[in-house]
Structure 1
Amino acid sequence: MPHSNHVQLVDNAGWDARILVCRNDALVDTYLVVTRRYLVVVDTLINPATGARLLALARPYLTQGRSLLVVNTHADYDHCWGNQVFADLGTPIIGQREAPVRCTGVESRQLLQRLQAEEPDIFADVQLTPPNLLFDERLTIDGGDLTLELMATPGHTPDHISIYLPEIETLLAGDAAELPFPMAERVADLPHMRRSLERLAALNARTVLYCHGPVEAGPRLLQDNIAYFDRLEEACRVVLARGTPPDGLDDAGLIRWVGLPFGDAVPEGPAWAQVPESYRTAGHAAQIRQMLAWLQQR
Protein backbone atom coordinates (compact mmCIF):
# COMPACT_ATOMS: atom_id res chain seq x y z
CA MET A 1 0.00 0.00 0.00
CA PRO A 2 1.56 3.34 -1.02
CA HIS A 3 1.90 5.93 1.71
CA SER A 4 0.18 9.29 1.82
CA ASN A 5 0.65 12.66 3.52
CA HIS A 6 -3.09 12.93 4.10
CA VAL A 7 -4.13 13.39 7.75
CA GLN A 8 -7.70 13.94 8.88
CA LEU A 9 -9.62 14.20 12.12
CA VAL A 10 -11.94 11.27 12.79
CA ASP A 11 -15.49 12.13 13.80
CA ASN A 12 -16.02 11.63 17.51
CA ALA A 13 -18.06 8.47 18.09
CA GLY A 14 -18.67 8.98 21.78
CA TRP A 15 -15.27 9.21 23.46
CA ASP A 16 -14.27 12.18 25.62
CA ALA A 17 -14.08 15.35 23.53
CA ARG A 18 -10.62 16.15 24.90
CA ILE A 19 -9.22 13.31 22.77
CA LEU A 20 -8.91 13.96 19.05
CA VAL A 21 -8.26 11.00 16.76
CA CYS A 22 -6.05 11.80 13.75
CA ARG A 23 -5.89 9.32 10.87
CA ASN A 24 -3.24 8.85 8.20
CA ASP A 25 -5.46 7.20 5.57
CA ALA A 26 -5.83 3.47 6.28
CA LEU A 27 -2.39 3.17 7.86
CA VAL A 28 -2.60 4.38 11.45
CA ASP A 29 -4.49 6.47 14.00
CA THR A 30 -2.75 8.88 16.37
CA TYR A 31 -4.12 11.17 19.06
CA LEU A 32 -4.16 14.68 20.43
CA VAL A 33 -5.02 14.83 24.13
CA VAL A 34 -6.11 18.27 25.32
CA THR A 35 -5.59 18.79 29.05
CA ARG A 36 -5.64 21.95 31.09
CA ARG A 37 -1.82 22.08 31.26
CA TYR A 38 -0.69 20.28 28.12
CA LEU A 39 -1.53 19.46 24.56
CA VAL A 40 -0.15 15.93 24.22
CA VAL A 41 0.56 14.56 20.74
CA VAL A 42 0.53 10.76 20.92
CA ASP A 43 2.68 9.56 17.99
CA THR A 44 3.88 11.74 15.12
CA LEU A 45 3.11 9.67 12.01
CA ILE A 46 5.39 8.91 9.08
CA ASN A 47 7.33 12.00 8.01
CA PRO A 48 7.73 15.77 8.48
CA ALA A 49 4.66 16.52 6.33
CA THR A 50 2.31 14.40 8.44
CA GLY A 51 3.99 15.58 11.63
CA ALA A 52 3.43 19.18 10.53
CA ARG A 53 -0.22 18.40 9.87
CA LEU A 54 -0.55 17.10 13.44
CA LEU A 55 1.08 20.28 14.69
CA ALA A 56 -1.38 22.37 12.68
CA LEU A 57 -4.28 20.45 14.24
CA ALA A 58 -2.75 20.97 17.68
CA ARG A 59 -2.05 24.72 17.40
CA PRO A 60 -5.61 25.94 18.10
CA TYR A 61 -5.38 24.24 21.50
CA LEU A 62 -2.02 25.77 22.43
CA THR A 63 -3.75 28.56 24.31
CA GLN A 64 -4.40 29.42 27.96
CA GLY A 65 -0.84 28.54 28.88
CA ARG A 66 -0.89 24.96 27.55
CA SER A 67 2.51 23.46 26.76
CA LEU A 68 3.19 21.02 23.94
CA LEU A 69 4.32 17.46 24.70
CA VAL A 70 4.89 14.45 22.44
CA VAL A 71 4.62 10.80 23.45
CA ASN A 72 5.85 7.97 21.22
CA THR A 73 4.02 4.70 21.91
CA HIS A 74 6.98 2.96 20.25
CA ALA A 75 9.63 3.55 17.61
CA ASP A 76 8.01 1.98 14.55
CA TYR A 77 8.14 4.23 11.51
CA ASP A 78 4.41 5.01 11.42
CA HIS A 79 4.53 6.28 14.99
CA CYS A 80 7.70 8.38 15.26
CA TRP A 81 9.05 9.50 11.90
CA GLY A 82 7.38 12.89 12.30
CA ASN A 83 9.34 13.56 15.51
CA GLN A 84 11.74 16.02 13.89
CA VAL A 85 8.96 18.59 13.44
CA PHE A 86 8.49 18.74 17.20
CA ALA A 87 12.17 18.38 18.12
CA ASP A 88 12.89 21.48 16.02
CA LEU A 89 10.55 23.38 18.36
CA GLY A 90 12.30 22.08 21.46
CA THR A 91 9.28 19.99 22.42
CA PRO A 92 9.91 17.20 24.94
CA ILE A 93 9.40 13.83 23.23
CA ILE A 94 8.65 11.07 25.72
CA GLY A 95 9.38 7.41 25.08
CA GLN A 96 10.38 4.18 26.73
CA ARG A 97 14.07 3.65 27.54
CA GLU A 98 14.67 1.32 24.59
CA ALA A 99 13.00 3.56 22.01
CA PRO A 100 16.06 5.60 20.92
CA VAL A 101 18.00 2.46 20.00
CA ARG A 102 15.09 1.17 17.94
CA CYS A 103 14.43 4.57 16.37
CA THR A 104 17.98 5.10 15.10
CA GLY A 105 19.25 1.51 14.87
CA VAL A 106 20.36 -0.46 11.84
CA GLU A 107 16.91 -1.84 10.99
CA SER A 108 15.32 1.61 11.08
CA ARG A 109 18.08 3.09 8.94
CA GLN A 110 17.73 0.28 6.41
CA LEU A 111 13.95 0.70 6.30
CA LEU A 112 14.32 4.45 5.79
CA GLN A 113 16.82 3.93 2.99
CA ARG A 114 14.47 1.50 1.25
CA LEU A 115 11.40 3.71 1.61
CA GLN A 116 13.32 6.76 0.42
CA ALA A 117 14.21 4.84 -2.74
CA GLU A 118 10.66 3.51 -3.23
CA GLU A 119 8.67 6.63 -2.26
CA PRO A 120 10.97 9.65 -2.28
CA ASP A 121 8.09 12.12 -2.31
CA ILE A 122 6.99 10.79 1.08
CA PHE A 123 10.21 9.85 2.87
CA ALA A 124 13.04 11.94 1.38
CA ASP A 125 13.05 14.48 4.23
CA VAL A 126 12.78 12.09 7.18
CA GLN A 127 15.49 12.43 9.82
CA LEU A 128 15.41 9.70 12.45
CA THR A 129 14.74 11.62 15.65
CA PRO A 130 14.51 9.62 18.89
CA PRO A 131 12.55 10.61 21.99
CA ASN A 132 14.55 12.70 24.44
CA LEU A 133 12.69 12.16 27.73
CA LEU A 134 12.85 8.50 28.70
CA PHE A 135 11.33 6.23 31.33
CA ASP A 136 11.41 2.54 32.16
CA GLU A 137 8.13 1.16 33.51
CA ARG A 138 5.83 4.07 34.36
CA LEU A 139 5.55 7.82 33.94
CA THR A 140 2.65 10.03 34.98
CA ILE A 141 1.74 13.28 33.24
CA ASP A 142 -0.41 15.50 35.45
CA GLY A 143 -2.47 17.48 32.99
CA GLY A 144 -4.49 19.26 35.66
CA ASP A 145 -7.89 17.92 34.68
CA LEU A 146 -6.66 14.69 33.10
CA THR A 147 -3.88 12.32 34.17
CA LEU A 148 -1.96 10.36 31.56
CA GLU A 149 -0.51 7.18 33.05
CA LEU A 150 2.18 5.93 30.68
CA MET A 151 2.99 2.25 31.20
CA ALA A 152 5.39 -0.14 29.52
CA THR A 153 3.47 -2.78 27.56
CA PRO A 154 6.24 -4.70 25.79
CA GLY A 155 5.65 -7.46 23.30
CA HIS A 156 4.74 -5.97 19.95
CA THR A 157 8.07 -4.19 20.39
CA PRO A 158 10.39 -4.06 23.44
CA ASP A 159 9.83 -0.30 23.79
CA HIS A 160 6.04 -0.30 23.51
CA ILE A 161 3.93 1.77 25.92
CA SER A 162 0.22 2.38 26.39
CA ILE A 163 -1.59 5.29 28.06
CA TYR A 164 -4.43 5.17 30.57
CA LEU A 165 -6.49 8.22 31.55
CA PRO A 166 -8.24 7.24 34.80
CA GLU A 167 -10.55 10.25 35.12
CA ILE A 168 -12.33 9.25 31.92
CA GLU A 169 -11.58 5.50 32.06
CA THR A 170 -9.95 5.69 28.65
CA LEU A 171 -7.09 3.57 27.32
CA LEU A 172 -4.91 4.45 24.35
CA ALA A 173 -3.63 0.96 23.62
CA GLY A 174 -1.22 1.81 20.81
CA ASP A 175 -0.22 -1.37 18.98
CA ALA A 176 -0.49 -3.57 22.08
CA ALA A 177 -3.81 -4.72 20.63
CA GLU A 178 -4.94 -4.55 17.02
CA LEU A 179 -7.58 -5.80 14.66
CA PRO A 180 -7.05 -8.58 13.75
CA PHE A 181 -4.08 -9.13 16.08
CA PRO A 182 -0.82 -7.57 17.28
CA MET A 183 2.42 -9.20 16.17
CA ALA A 184 5.44 -9.69 18.42
CA GLU A 185 8.70 -8.46 16.93
CA ARG A 186 10.55 -11.54 18.21
CA VAL A 187 9.49 -15.04 19.26
CA ALA A 188 10.81 -14.39 22.77
CA ASP A 189 8.47 -11.39 23.05
CA LEU A 190 5.29 -13.42 22.49
CA PRO A 191 4.66 -14.10 26.21
CA HIS A 192 5.38 -10.45 27.04
CA MET A 193 2.81 -9.35 24.47
CA ARG A 194 0.19 -11.66 25.92
CA ARG A 195 0.91 -10.45 29.46
CA SER A 196 0.58 -6.85 28.27
CA LEU A 197 -2.83 -7.67 26.79
CA GLU A 198 -3.92 -9.17 30.12
CA ARG A 199 -2.73 -6.10 32.03
CA LEU A 200 -4.59 -3.75 29.73
CA ALA A 201 -7.77 -5.81 29.89
CA ALA A 202 -7.55 -5.77 33.70
CA LEU A 203 -7.88 -1.97 33.67
CA ASN A 204 -11.54 -2.42 32.67
CA ALA A 205 -11.41 0.77 30.63
CA ARG A 206 -14.73 2.09 29.44
CA THR A 207 -13.22 3.46 26.21
CA VAL A 208 -10.31 1.88 24.34
CA LEU A 209 -8.76 3.36 21.21
CA TYR A 210 -6.23 1.59 19.02
CA CYS A 211 -3.68 2.72 16.46
CA HIS A 212 -4.68 -0.13 14.13
CA GLY A 213 -8.31 -0.90 14.78
CA PRO A 214 -11.75 0.65 14.29
CA VAL A 215 -12.64 3.41 16.75
CA GLU A 216 -15.81 1.49 17.56
CA ALA A 217 -13.92 -1.72 18.48
CA GLY A 218 -14.01 -0.82 22.17
CA PRO A 219 -12.67 -2.87 25.11
CA ARG A 220 -13.91 -6.08 23.50
CA LEU A 221 -10.96 -6.16 21.10
CA LEU A 222 -8.57 -6.71 24.02
CA GLN A 223 -10.49 -9.84 24.96
CA ASP A 224 -10.68 -10.93 21.32
CA ASN A 225 -6.88 -10.66 20.97
CA ILE A 226 -6.37 -12.61 24.20
CA ALA A 227 -8.74 -15.33 23.01
CA TYR A 228 -6.99 -15.51 19.61
CA PHE A 229 -3.62 -16.31 21.17
CA ASP A 230 -5.20 -18.75 23.63
CA ARG A 231 -6.81 -20.66 20.75
CA LEU A 232 -3.57 -20.54 18.80
CA GLU A 233 -1.57 -21.96 21.71
CA GLU A 234 -4.10 -24.73 22.30
CA ALA A 235 -4.12 -25.79 18.64
CA CYS A 236 -0.33 -25.68 18.38
CA ARG A 237 0.13 -27.74 21.54
CA VAL A 238 -2.17 -30.42 20.16
CA VAL A 239 -0.30 -30.80 16.86
CA LEU A 240 3.15 -30.63 18.48
CA ALA A 241 2.14 -33.51 20.72
CA ARG A 242 1.89 -35.55 17.50
CA GLY A 243 5.15 -34.33 15.98
CA THR A 244 6.91 -31.41 14.34
CA PRO A 245 5.64 -29.66 11.19
CA PRO A 246 6.62 -31.26 7.88
CA ASP A 247 9.33 -29.41 5.99
CA GLY A 248 8.38 -27.04 3.21
CA LEU A 249 4.85 -26.16 4.25
CA ASP A 250 3.59 -22.94 2.70
CA ASP A 251 1.26 -20.65 4.64
CA ALA A 252 -1.94 -22.42 3.62
CA GLY A 253 -0.37 -25.82 4.26
CA LEU A 254 0.77 -24.81 7.73
CA ILE A 255 -2.70 -23.54 8.62
CA ARG A 256 -4.21 -26.84 7.43
CA TRP A 257 -1.62 -28.82 9.41
CA VAL A 258 -2.45 -26.97 12.63
CA GLY A 259 -6.17 -27.21 11.87
CA LEU A 260 -7.05 -23.67 12.91
CA PRO A 261 -8.15 -21.49 9.98
CA PHE A 262 -8.31 -17.77 10.64
CA GLY A 263 -12.10 -17.74 10.75
CA ASP A 264 -12.12 -20.29 13.58
CA ALA A 265 -9.65 -18.26 15.67
CA VAL A 266 -11.46 -14.91 15.64
CA PRO A 267 -15.01 -13.71 16.33
CA GLU A 268 -17.69 -13.22 13.73
CA GLY A 269 -18.89 -9.75 12.79
CA PRO A 270 -18.59 -7.08 10.10
CA ALA A 271 -15.15 -5.81 11.14
CA TRP A 272 -13.71 -9.32 11.13
CA ALA A 273 -15.32 -10.15 7.79
CA GLN A 274 -13.43 -7.20 6.26
CA VAL A 275 -9.98 -8.33 7.42
CA PRO A 276 -7.74 -8.44 4.30
CA GLU A 277 -6.75 -11.80 2.90
CA SER A 278 -3.08 -11.16 3.70
CA TYR A 279 -3.88 -11.30 7.42
CA ARG A 280 -6.04 -14.40 7.02
CA THR A 281 -3.25 -16.37 5.36
CA ALA A 282 0.27 -14.93 5.61
CA GLY A 283 -0.37 -13.01 8.84
CA HIS A 284 -2.18 -15.88 10.55
CA ALA A 285 0.51 -18.33 9.41
CA ALA A 286 3.22 -16.02 10.80
CA GLN A 287 1.46 -16.07 14.16
CA ILE A 288 1.30 -19.87 14.02
CA ARG A 289 5.03 -20.08 13.24
CA GLN A 290 5.83 -17.82 16.19
CA MET A 291 3.66 -19.84 18.54
CA LEU A 292 5.16 -23.14 17.36
CA ALA A 293 8.69 -21.77 17.76
CA TRP A 294 7.94 -20.46 21.25
CA LEU A 295 6.40 -23.76 22.37
CA GLN A 296 9.29 -25.76 20.91
CA GLN A 297 11.81 -23.59 22.77
CA ARG A 298 10.20 -24.25 26.12
Structure 2
Amino acid sequence: MEWYQLPLGPLQTNCYILSKENGKCLIFDPGEESEKLSNIIQQKSLQPVAIILTHAHFDHIGAVDDIREEYEIPVYIHEKEADWLIDPALNGSGRYEMIENISGKPADFFIRNEQEMTIGEFTFQIYETPGHSPGSISIYFKEGDLVVAGDALFNGSIGRTDLPGGNHDLLLNSIHQKLLTLPEETTVLSGHGPATTIGQEMDSNPFLNGF
Protein backbone atom coordinates (compact mmCIF):
# COMPACT_ATOMS: atom_id res chain seq x y z
CA MET A 1 0.00 0.00 0.00
CA GLU A 2 1.22 3.50 -0.86
CA TRP A 3 0.16 6.80 0.67
CA TYR A 4 0.31 10.36 -0.56
CA GLN A 5 0.08 13.49 1.57
CA LEU A 6 -1.48 16.61 0.02
CA PRO A 7 -1.61 19.78 2.16
CA LEU A 8 -4.65 21.69 0.89
CA GLY A 9 -6.19 25.10 1.51
CA PRO A 10 -5.04 28.09 3.58
CA LEU A 11 -4.59 25.95 6.70
CA GLN A 12 -2.58 23.36 4.75
CA THR A 13 -4.80 20.57 6.01
CA ASN A 14 -3.44 17.18 5.04
CA CYS A 15 -5.53 15.15 2.65
CA TYR A 16 -4.29 11.58 2.26
CA ILE A 17 -4.65 9.10 -0.56
CA LEU A 18 -4.02 5.44 0.23
CA SER A 19 -3.69 3.23 -2.83
CA LYS A 20 -3.23 -0.39 -3.78
CA GLU A 21 -0.99 -1.66 -6.56
CA ASN A 22 -4.01 -1.90 -8.88
CA GLY A 23 -4.72 1.82 -8.45
CA LYS A 24 -7.78 1.55 -6.23
CA CYS A 25 -7.60 4.21 -3.52
CA LEU A 26 -9.26 5.74 -0.49
CA ILE A 27 -9.33 9.49 0.08
CA PHE A 28 -9.16 10.97 3.58
CA ASP A 29 -10.17 14.53 4.48
CA PRO A 30 -10.32 16.35 1.13
CA GLY A 31 -10.27 19.79 2.71
CA GLU A 32 -10.12 22.13 -0.28
CA GLU A 33 -8.58 22.59 -3.75
CA SER A 34 -10.56 19.80 -5.38
CA GLU A 35 -8.94 20.49 -8.76
CA LYS A 36 -5.45 20.00 -7.32
CA LEU A 37 -6.53 16.77 -5.67
CA SER A 38 -8.22 15.52 -8.84
CA ASN A 39 -5.09 16.28 -10.88
CA ILE A 40 -2.98 14.15 -8.55
CA ILE A 41 -5.50 11.30 -8.78
CA GLN A 42 -5.37 11.46 -12.57
CA GLN A 43 -1.59 11.80 -12.77
CA LYS A 44 -1.16 8.65 -10.73
CA SER A 45 -3.94 6.79 -12.60
CA LEU A 46 -5.83 6.12 -9.38
CA GLN A 47 -9.43 4.98 -8.99
CA PRO A 48 -11.06 6.34 -5.81
CA VAL A 49 -13.56 4.04 -4.09
CA ALA A 50 -14.59 6.16 -1.08
CA ILE A 51 -13.99 9.27 1.00
CA ILE A 52 -13.48 8.79 4.74
CA LEU A 53 -13.54 11.78 7.09
CA THR A 54 -11.61 11.73 10.36
CA HIS A 55 -13.92 14.55 11.46
CA ALA A 56 -15.91 17.37 9.91
CA HIS A 57 -14.24 20.67 10.75
CA PHE A 58 -14.41 23.00 7.76
CA ASP A 59 -10.76 22.67 6.79
CA HIS A 60 -11.20 18.91 6.30
CA ILE A 61 -14.38 18.90 4.19
CA GLY A 62 -14.29 21.73 1.64
CA ALA A 63 -13.70 19.49 -1.40
CA VAL A 64 -15.91 16.59 -0.32
CA ASP A 65 -18.83 17.24 -2.65
CA ASP A 66 -16.68 18.03 -5.70
CA ILE A 67 -14.67 14.82 -5.34
CA ARG A 68 -17.71 12.72 -4.41
CA GLU A 69 -19.56 13.87 -7.53
CA GLU A 70 -16.60 13.65 -9.89
CA TYR A 71 -15.80 10.04 -8.99
CA GLU A 72 -19.28 8.96 -7.88
CA ILE A 73 -18.06 7.57 -4.58
CA PRO A 74 -19.62 7.45 -1.09
CA VAL A 75 -18.62 9.51 1.94
CA TYR A 76 -18.20 8.02 5.42
CA ILE A 77 -18.30 9.97 8.70
CA HIS A 78 -18.96 9.25 12.36
CA GLU A 79 -22.63 9.59 13.26
CA LYS A 80 -21.88 12.15 16.01
CA GLU A 81 -20.97 14.61 13.26
CA ALA A 82 -23.71 13.57 10.85
CA ASP A 83 -25.04 17.13 10.56
CA TRP A 84 -21.70 18.90 10.34
CA LEU A 85 -21.33 18.60 6.58
CA ILE A 86 -24.52 20.58 6.04
CA ASP A 87 -24.31 23.09 8.93
CA PRO A 88 -21.68 25.89 8.84
CA ALA A 89 -22.28 26.61 12.51
CA LEU A 90 -21.25 23.06 13.41
CA ASN A 91 -18.32 22.60 11.00
CA GLY A 92 -16.92 26.00 11.98
CA SER A 93 -16.97 27.71 8.60
CA GLY A 94 -19.73 30.02 9.83
CA ARG A 95 -17.56 31.39 12.63
CA TYR A 96 -14.93 33.07 10.43
CA GLU A 97 -15.63 35.95 8.09
CA MET A 98 -12.74 35.06 5.81
CA ILE A 99 -14.02 31.50 5.32
CA GLU A 100 -16.79 30.73 2.86
CA ASN A 101 -19.68 28.92 4.52
CA ILE A 102 -19.57 25.21 3.83
CA SER A 103 -22.98 23.58 3.55
CA GLY A 104 -22.85 20.40 1.51
CA LYS A 105 -24.70 17.17 1.17
CA PRO A 106 -25.01 14.62 3.99
CA ALA A 107 -22.62 11.71 4.15
CA ASP A 108 -23.68 8.47 2.51
CA PHE A 109 -22.72 6.21 5.42
CA PHE A 110 -22.41 6.80 9.15
CA ILE A 111 -19.89 5.08 11.39
CA ARG A 112 -21.57 4.17 14.66
CA ASN A 113 -18.93 2.40 16.72
CA GLU A 114 -15.45 0.94 16.71
CA GLN A 115 -15.22 -1.87 14.22
CA GLU A 116 -13.26 -3.53 11.49
CA MET A 117 -14.47 -2.27 8.14
CA THR A 118 -13.87 -3.32 4.56
CA ILE A 119 -14.40 -0.98 1.63
CA GLY A 120 -13.50 -2.54 -1.69
CA GLU A 121 -10.08 -4.14 -1.24
CA PHE A 122 -9.24 -2.14 1.90
CA THR A 123 -9.69 -3.58 5.38
CA PHE A 124 -9.02 -1.40 8.41
CA GLN A 125 -9.92 -0.76 12.04
CA ILE A 126 -12.00 2.22 13.13
CA TYR A 127 -11.05 3.73 16.50
CA GLU A 128 -13.16 6.41 18.14
CA THR A 129 -10.73 9.13 19.26
CA PRO A 130 -12.88 12.07 20.44
CA GLY A 131 -11.56 15.13 22.19
CA HIS A 132 -10.64 17.41 19.30
CA SER A 133 -14.23 16.98 18.16
CA PRO A 134 -17.03 14.65 19.32
CA GLY A 135 -16.94 12.37 16.28
CA SER A 136 -13.21 12.21 15.62
CA ILE A 137 -12.03 8.82 14.44
CA SER A 138 -8.66 7.28 13.62
CA ILE A 139 -8.32 4.67 10.90
CA TYR A 140 -5.68 1.96 11.42
CA PHE A 141 -4.30 -0.15 8.60
CA LYS A 142 -2.41 -3.12 10.03
CA GLU A 143 -1.34 -4.11 6.52
CA GLY A 144 0.48 -0.82 5.96
CA ASP A 145 1.56 -0.13 9.57
CA LEU A 146 -0.15 3.25 9.52
CA VAL A 147 -2.97 5.16 11.17
CA VAL A 148 -4.81 8.18 9.75
CA ALA A 149 -5.27 10.15 12.96
CA GLY A 150 -6.85 13.41 11.81
CA ASP A 151 -6.35 16.19 14.34
CA ALA A 152 -5.99 13.93 17.37
CA LEU A 153 -2.21 13.45 17.38
CA PHE A 154 0.46 15.50 15.63
CA ASN A 155 4.22 15.36 15.31
CA GLY A 156 5.21 16.79 18.69
CA SER A 157 1.73 18.06 19.54
CA ILE A 158 -1.95 17.18 19.94
CA GLY A 159 -5.19 18.58 18.55
CA ARG A 160 -6.71 21.78 19.90
CA THR A 161 -9.64 21.37 22.25
CA ASP A 162 -10.94 24.95 22.55
CA LEU A 163 -13.50 24.56 19.76
CA PRO A 164 -17.15 23.58 20.45
CA GLY A 165 -17.29 19.94 21.50
CA GLY A 166 -13.60 19.82 22.36
CA ASN A 167 -12.41 18.18 25.57
CA HIS A 168 -8.75 18.14 26.57
CA ASP A 169 -8.89 15.26 29.05
CA LEU A 170 -10.98 13.18 26.66
CA LEU A 171 -8.46 13.76 23.87
CA LEU A 172 -5.55 12.69 26.05
CA ASN A 173 -7.47 9.57 27.04
CA SER A 174 -8.21 8.81 23.38
CA ILE A 175 -4.56 9.14 22.45
CA HIS A 176 -3.31 6.97 25.30
CA GLN A 177 -6.02 4.31 25.15
CA LYS A 178 -6.41 4.01 21.37
CA LEU A 179 -3.33 5.34 19.57
CA LEU A 180 -0.37 4.73 21.87
CA THR A 181 -1.44 1.10 22.20
CA LEU A 182 -0.64 0.57 18.50
CA PRO A 183 2.78 -0.87 17.55
CA GLU A 184 5.52 1.72 18.02
CA GLU A 185 6.57 1.46 14.38
CA THR A 186 3.11 2.56 13.22
CA THR A 187 3.26 5.63 10.98
CA VAL A 188 0.91 8.40 12.13
CA LEU A 189 -0.64 10.43 9.30
CA SER A 190 -1.80 13.62 11.00
CA GLY A 191 -4.24 16.28 9.87
CA HIS A 192 -1.53 18.96 9.81
CA GLY A 193 2.24 18.87 9.58
CA PRO A 194 4.62 16.00 8.90
CA ALA A 195 4.02 12.32 9.56
CA THR A 196 5.42 10.76 12.71
CA THR A 197 5.38 7.38 14.45
CA ILE A 198 3.72 6.10 17.59
CA GLY A 199 7.14 5.39 19.10
CA GLN A 200 8.41 8.90 18.43
CA GLU A 201 5.40 10.48 20.10
CA MET A 202 5.64 8.15 23.09
CA ASP A 203 9.25 9.21 23.56
CA SER A 204 9.19 12.93 22.85
CA ASN A 205 5.72 14.49 22.63
CA PRO A 206 5.65 17.06 25.49
CA PHE A 207 1.85 17.06 25.63
CA LEU A 208 1.75 13.37 26.56
CA ASN A 209 4.29 13.39 29.39
CA GLY A 210 2.90 12.83 32.84
CA PHE A 211 -0.59 11.82 31.73
Per the normalisation by structure 2, the TM-score is 0.79
1:95 to 50, 69, 77: 77
2:35 is aligned with 1:52: yes
The amino acid of 2:7's aligned partner reads R
| Cα displacement (A) at 1:223 | 5.5
Distance 1:26 1:187 in 2: 20
Q: Which residue matches 1:20?
A: 4
The amino acid of 1:52's aligned partner reads E
Q: Which moved more, 1:75-84 or 1:31-40?
A: 31-40
Q: Which moved more, 1:181-190 or 1:31-40?
A: 181-190
| Cα displacement (A) at 1:187 | 7.7
2:179 to 186, 189, 200: 200
Distance 2:85 2:119 in 1: 27
3-state secondary structure, aligned to 1:98: helix
The amino acid of 1:190's aligned partner reads H
The amino acid of 2:143's aligned partner reads E
Distance 1:188 1:33 in 2: 28
Contact 1:99–1:131 (8 Å) recurs in 2:
no
Q: Which residue matches 1:294?
A: none
Distance 2:126 2:209 in 1: 27
**For the pair shown, which has the larger CA radius of gyration, 1 or 2?**
1
| Cα displacement (A) at 1:108 | 3.7
1:180 to 140, 157, 163: 157
Q: Which is richer in strand?
A: 2
| Cα displacement (A) at 1:22 | 0.8
2:51 is aligned with 1:70: yes
Q: Which residue matches 2:24?
A: 38
The amino acid of 1:132's aligned partner reads D
2:201 is aligned with 1:221: yes
| Cα displacement (A) at 1:85 | 0.3
Q: Which residue matches 2:134?
A: 158
Closer, same or farther in 2 for the Cα pair 1:62/1:70, shift >3 Å?
Answer: farther
Q: Which residue matches 1:271?
A: none
Q: Which residue matches 2:98?
A: 118
| Cα displacement (A) at 1:147 | 2.6
Deviations for 1:111-167, whole angstroms, at most 9, x for unmatched residues?
A: 43455x536xxx37x5433422111123512553x5332322111101111111101
Identity %: 18
Deviations for 1:229-273, whole angstroms, at most 9, x for unmatched residues?
A: 554x7xxxxxxxxxxxxxxxxxxxxxxxxxxxxxxxxxxxxxxxx
Deviations for 1:55-79, whole angstroms, at most 9, x for unmatched residues?
A: 221234556xx45210111000111
Deviations for 1:2-50, whole angstroms, at most 9, x for unmatched residues?
A: xxxxxxxxxxxxxx6x10111126622110011247311101113xxx1
Deviations for 1:164-213, whole angstroms, at most 9, x for unmatched residues?
A: 11012111111111243222246873332122101111011522221123
Give the RMSD, CA atoms, in angstroms: 2.9
Contact 1:81–1:127 (8 Å) recurs in 2:
no
Which consecutive aligned stretches of 4+ in structure 1 deviate over 6 angstroms post-superposition?
none
The amino acid of 1:140's aligned partner reads M
Alignment of 1:128-139 (within 5 A): 128-137=104-113, 138-139=115-116
The amino acid of 1:208's aligned partner reads V
Higher RCO (C-alpha 8 Å, min separation 6): 2
Per the normalisation by structure 1, the TM-score is 0.58
Distance 2:44 2:77 in 1: 23
Deviations for 1:99-120, whole angstroms, at most 9, x for unmatched residues?
A: 22233336247x43455x536x
1:84 to 54, 61, 65: 65
Alignment: residue pair count: 202
Contact 2:116–2:125 (8 Å) recurs in 1:
yes
The amino acid of 1:57's aligned partner reads I
Query: Structure 1 stretches of 5 or more lacking a match?
Result: 1-15, 234-298
The amino acid of 2:39's aligned partner reads A
